[in-house]
Amino acid sequence: MKLRFLPSILLFLSAYSPLSIIFLIQDYDFENNILNHPEIVWPILGISIISCILMWASVNFLKISTPPITVEKVSNRSGELINYSIPYMISFFVMDLGSTNLLLSFGFFMLIMYWLTLKTHNIFINPILAVMGYNLYDVHYKKNGRVYEHFFLVKGERLRKNERCRIAELSEQLFLVTERNPEE
């Protein structure tokens, strides 16, 4: 699946945006009411917020659609969200934002995580999308008499067999359902 570099980074960063809040809490000095490393925490938090806003805008304002397709078979992929827990667990070990070695190690680890999630197509299994009400499904569908299989991001309840919907292509194998049961 080919996904452009910038959208893939946006998806990845938004998926790990809650990690920035964990860093903020861990870095906060409650006795002196200050952040120990504001020069690191604020940019990470800012990037996280911006990535979430851009992703939200992207999926909510995309209205380009194809003619309706008919769903043949649906399998849920959103249950794989547990894979995102590993970096969160790492953050609960001693994570000193003042240690250059620790930050570089964590950055390298996150780079490997990005590469793996992109190569395994799990980049679309995103907990922030799930919070926004989107689920990822592996869908077999009929279009122009032919059956295709792709990943669909769907807001709301699961697609059903023989349901008709309009979709917009996000990448080579990923589509966003923009309208369910259209009136043609």
Residue 1 has a pLDDT of: 47
* Cβ contacts of 177 within 8 Å, gap of 6 or more: 152, 153, 154, 155, 159, 165, 166, 167
| 153 class by beta-carbon count within 10 Å (0-12 exposed, 13-18 middle, 19+ buried) | buried
- The parent domain of residue 108 ranges over 5-180
Please state the domain count of the chain: 1
Residue 82 has a pLDDT of: 60
Q: Report pTM.
A: 0.75
Residue 46 has a pLDDT of: 96
Residuewise pLDDT in 10s, the chain (184 residues)? 455 677 778 888 898 898 899 889 989 999 999 999 999 999 999 999 999 998 888 887 777 667 889 999 998 775 555 666 666 676 666 677 888 888 888 889 889 988 888 777 677 777 888 888 888 888 999 998 899 999 888 998 989 999 999 998 877 778 889 888 877 6
